[in-house]
Amino acid sequence: LIVVPTALTIGALLLGGDLAEFSRASTRGGELRIAWPASWHALHAADEQLGVVPLGAHARVSVLTALVFVALVALVVVALACCACSCAAMHDADAAANAPDVPPSVGARESAERVWSRGRQPRHGSAEPVPPKARTSVTQSEWLADYTLIATAEQLLRSTGRAVIEAATGDDALPEWLRTSFRRVLTWLWAEVEAEATGAVIEATYASQRARVAELLVLSRRAKPLSWLPNPLRRVRALILYTLYPYDLSFWGQLNVPLFYPLMAVFVYPFDGVQPVFFLLLFLLRDKGDEFQLCQFILEFKGWQFLTAGVISAFLGGLQLQRCAELNTCAHLGWRGAP
What are the domain boundaries of the chain? 3-94, 101-220, 237-337
Percent of the chain with pLDDT over 70: 55
The contacts found for 184-188 with CB under 8 angstroms, 24 or more apart, are 184/89, 184/90, 184/93, 184/94, 184/97, 185/89, 185/93, 187/93, 187/96, 187/97, 187/161, 188/89, 188/92, 188/93, 188/96
Residues 109 and 210: their CA atoms lie apart, in Å, by: 18
Weakest-pLDDT range from 31-40, 131-140, 271-280: 31-40
Residues 107 and 109: their CA atoms lie apart, in Å, by: 5
Residues 180 and 188: their CA atoms lie apart, in Å, by: 12
Write down the pLDDT at residue 122.
Answer: 41
Average pLDDT, stretch 171-198?
Answer: 89
Average pLDDT, stretch 250-278?
Answer: 87
Residues 29 and 39: their CA atoms lie apart, in Å, by: 26
**Of residues 127, 117, 287, the one with CA closest to residue 211:** 117
Write down the pLDDT at residue 168.
Answer: 87
Write down the pLDDT at residue 51.
Answer: 52
Contact present, 119 and 88 (Cβ < 8 Å):
no
**Of residues 82, 36, 76, 77, the one with CA closest to residue 60:** 36
Q: Phi and psi dihedrals of 33, rounded to 5? A: -115, 145
Write down the pLDDT at residue 257.
Answer: 92
136 vs 324, residue with greater confidence: 324
Average pLDDT, stretch 285-306?
Answer: 87
Q: What's the predicted TM-score (pTM) here? A: 0.37
Average pLDDT, stretch 139-159?
Answer: 85
**Of residues 154, 236, 145, the one with CA closest to residue 199:** 154
Max avg pLDDT among 186-190, 214-218, 271-275, 319-323: 186-190
